[in-house]
Amino acid sequence: MARALALTAAALAAFTALVLAGVLTGIDDWAIDHAMPALDPHSHAGIVSGSGLWRPFPLDAVWWDKLLDAYLYPASFLASAVLVTATCGLLARRGRQVAAVLWLGAWLGANAAELVGKVGLARPDVRWSNGVHPIHVVSFDHSYPSGHSARGVVLAALVAYAFPRLRYAAAAWVVLVPVALVVAGDHTVSDVVGGTLLGLLLVLAVHAMMREWTRSRTFWRGSSGASSATPRPSSSTSQAARSTSRTPS
């Protein structure tokens, strides 16, 4: 588990460096031109947007764009907050308080990392080139990493942990989240890859901490059990030993 954590952290750091250096800009530009039919290249949406908080999609969107937004809605901030809080509350009622705290912390970590990245990181310009003149897509200047992708991974892993029978459904849903985000024009390819790596890192951290907690609890239980099971000499045995020691040689 420690090795997987280290490799994922290294992959996220290396990928972020490539994004900021502009190495992946060509891939993002290609996706903007060929894989984002719902993109509005003139959008100037800021870092923090209220779109999608309280409803899945704009009412004036085309029907297929509404379907994409509805599919992505569980990974939005508000919807995921409700789902994660409810599931963690259920875990706590089952007696898994540590797991509940760790999963909630992973969700909070995903949102914190998204905010830090979008405020502190600025990628090289990406451009829409399907018109007469290329257009700088300003809304993607501070869109790395994708919070939807990170929250989606954490949410799917939490559902799989709390409801094992739903693990395949959760996996099938989260696999298509990055694709839907790109097609809907919400994020570039590099955004969703970075967000997915971030979510995977947080999920691995949760499982690693739960494993360590289980090991430490088992160790202390074993230690206390061993100490309580240590045989003590009976009073008759002690008296016999004292009598033997008093017998003259």
Joined tokens for residue 168? 């395949």
Query: Is residue 209 packed enough to be buried (19+ CB in 10 Å), middle (13-18) or exposed (0-12)?
Result: middle
- pLDDT tens digits, one per residue of 18-73: 999 999 999 999 999 999 998 988 877 654 444 556 667 667 778 888 899 999 99
pTM of the full structure? 0.85
- Encode burial over 144-179: b for 16+ CB neighbours within 10 A, e otherwise: bbbbbbbbbbbbbbbbbbbeeeeeeebeebbeebbe
Work out the burial of residue 106: count CB atoms within 10 Å of its CB; fewer than 13 is exposed, 13-18 middle, 19 or more buried.
buried
What is the C-alpha to C-alpha distance for residues 65 and 73, in angstroms, rounded to an integer? 12
Radius of gyration of the chain (CA): 27
pLDDT along the chain (249 residues), means of 10: 92 97 96 92 63 64 87 94 97 96 98 94 92 88 95 98 97 97 94 98 96 79 57 49 46
Query: In one letter, which amino acid is 235?
Result: S
Q: Side-chain half-sphere of 88: how many Cα atoms within 13 Å?
A: 20
